[in-house]
Amino acid sequence: MCLYHPDVAKQRAVWLYNHILRKRSGFVKSMRRELRRKFSRSTNTLSAQNSTQISIKQRLLAWIPLLGHFMRDDIRKACLVCGSFQNEGITLHHCPTPGCVGTYCDECYAQLNNVCTICKSPLEYGDLSDVSEEKDSSADEQAKELKRQKRRDKKKNLVER
């Protein structure tokens, strides 16, 4: 049952390689969407942190800033994508945009093409897969309401003459 077929080995290797590439690109795309959802442009740094769970330690630091001097060693930044902490083997990249909370490890930052997906729009970093150019139904309703209002105004002007 478990026989090795050398003629099929290359075909399996090619399939596995392509399968991993497809999964990886799907993962990167889903992580970009997750980061955009969690830290949308309309939120500032504080409300973006509220969308995730805030620990008791973070609340204490917000209420009593002097505790930061005593707890400074215990606070560690982590990659927003994979959650790995900065240590000797892993360096974290912080987004240079002022007010942005983007922090990524080397590997995740490279997979995101060295672009922070929090402060950039999908059009700026080339992820057009979930961007829609279509108008939503509310825009159609607003246009219809404008037309109705113009007709009413025309009728009023005709009646007044």
Half-sphere exposure of 13 (CA within 13 A, CB side): 6
**Digit-coded pLDDT (tens) for 3-20:** 777 778 888 888 888 788
**AA identity, residue 60:** L
Distance CA 37, CA 98 (A): 20
Could you count the other beta carbons within 10 Å of the beta carbon of residue 92?
19
Could you count the other beta carbons within 10 Å of the beta carbon of residue 151?
10
**Digit-coded pLDDT (tens) for 60-115:** 777 777 777 776 555 567 888 877 787 777 888 888 888 788 888 888 888 888 88
Question: pTM, whole model, 2 decimals?
Answer: 0.49
Q: Which of 68, 108, 55 is nearest to 86 (CA)?
A: 108
